[in-house]
């Protein structure tokens, strides 16, 4: 929720199962086997586009199901009629599966990575940076609660696919990724514990020199 207040306490479930109901496991499998799986950023953005009331009402895997249905519709992989009926239209151009059942295991076990090549990084370990006060209308991995706050770069992760572009079909646009640590007092004021901190992986366009 981007660090928003008023959402209630986090209540961990003791001995929580991987799936609470069999249908949740099926939804997980559908998302992994879907031809839309290759763009995790578009998938995250699709969940963010849910109406706020639906987002708060839905369970975790209800969100996943809604996401994969909409991505399949957006990509032209199914029609609304096929989705409603659960049956492929034999006359539709998409009646031949893009990923037949006998290819799913290979597709799911093939290695893939979001690491890419880019130019030299702008920042180095030990640099003090500030998270830019950005308010994009689309997808971003920059949490609200660090915007405008200063932190210390502690790790360089190399260049990775930049979610802010990738989620919107604008290409991968690789950017350098940094491990940045923010003190709790920098984030939440003098009443926070001086011993606490938060470490985040942030892309270069999110940062500026402090």
Q: What is the pLDDT of residues 124-149, one digit of tens each?
A: 999 999 999 999 999 999 999 999 99
Q: Give the model's pLDDT for residue 15.
A: 95
6 found inside a domain: no
> Which of 49, 80, 109 represents a domain boundary (last residue)?
109
| pLDDT exceeds cutoff 70 at 104 | yes
Please tell me whether residues 122 and 203 are part of one structural domain.
Answer: yes
Are residues 204 and 196 in contact, defined by beta-carbon separation less than 8 angstroms? no
Interatomic CA distance for residues 208 and 63, integer angstroms: 34
Mean pLDDT rounded to a whole number for the chain? 93
Q: Say what angle helices 22-33 and 60-74 make with each other, to 10 degrees.
A: 30
Cα 22 off chain centre by? 24
Q: How confident is the model at residue 8 (pLDDT cuts 50, 70, 90)?
A: confident
Interatomic CA distance for residues 142 and 130, integer angstroms: 12
Interatomic CA distance for residues 24 and 18, integer angstroms: 9
Range with the poorest average pLDDT among 16-30, 103-117, 174-188, 195-209:
103-117
| pLDDT exceeds cutoff 90 at 103 | no
Residue 25 to residues 19, 21, 56, 61, 193, Cα–Cα distance (Å): 6, 7, 21, 9, 40
What's the pTM value of the predicted model, to 2 decimals? 0.87
Please tell me whether residues 93 and 148 are part of one structural domain.
Answer: no
Print the domain residue range for 86: 22-109
> Which of 55, 79, 109 represents a domain boundary (last residue)?
109
Q: Give the model's pLDDT for residue 10.
A: 82
CATH of the domain at 154: 2.30.30.50
Over residues 33-71, the pLDDT tens digits come to 888 888 999 999 999 999 999 999 999 999 999 999 999
């Amino acid at each position: 929720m981007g660090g928003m207040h008023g959402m209630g306490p986090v209540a961990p479930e003791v001995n929580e199962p991987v799936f609470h109901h069999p249908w949740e496991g099926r939804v997980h499998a559908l998302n992994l086997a879907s031809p839309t799986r290759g763009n995790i950023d578009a998938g995250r953005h699709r969940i963010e586009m849910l109406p706020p009331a639906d987002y708060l009402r839905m369970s975790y895997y209800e969100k996943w199901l809604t996401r994969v249905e909409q991505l399949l519709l957006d990509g032209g992989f199914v029609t609304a009629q096929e989705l409603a009926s659960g049956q492929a239209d034999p006359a539709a151009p998409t009646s031949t599966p893009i990923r037949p059942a006998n290819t799913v295991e290979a597709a799911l076990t093939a290695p893939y990575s979001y690491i890419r090549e880019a130019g030299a990084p702008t920042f180095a370990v030990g640099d003090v940076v500030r998270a830019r006060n950005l308010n994009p209308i689309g997808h971003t991995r920059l949490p609200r609660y660090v915007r405008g706050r200063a932190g210390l770069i502690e790790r360089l992760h190399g260049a990775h696919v930049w979610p802010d572009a990738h989620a919107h079909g604008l290409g991968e646009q690789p950017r350098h990724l940094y491990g940045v640590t923010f003190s709790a007092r920098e984030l939440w004021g003098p009443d926070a514990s001086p011993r606490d901190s938060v470490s985040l992986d942030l892309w270069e366009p999110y940062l500026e020199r402090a």
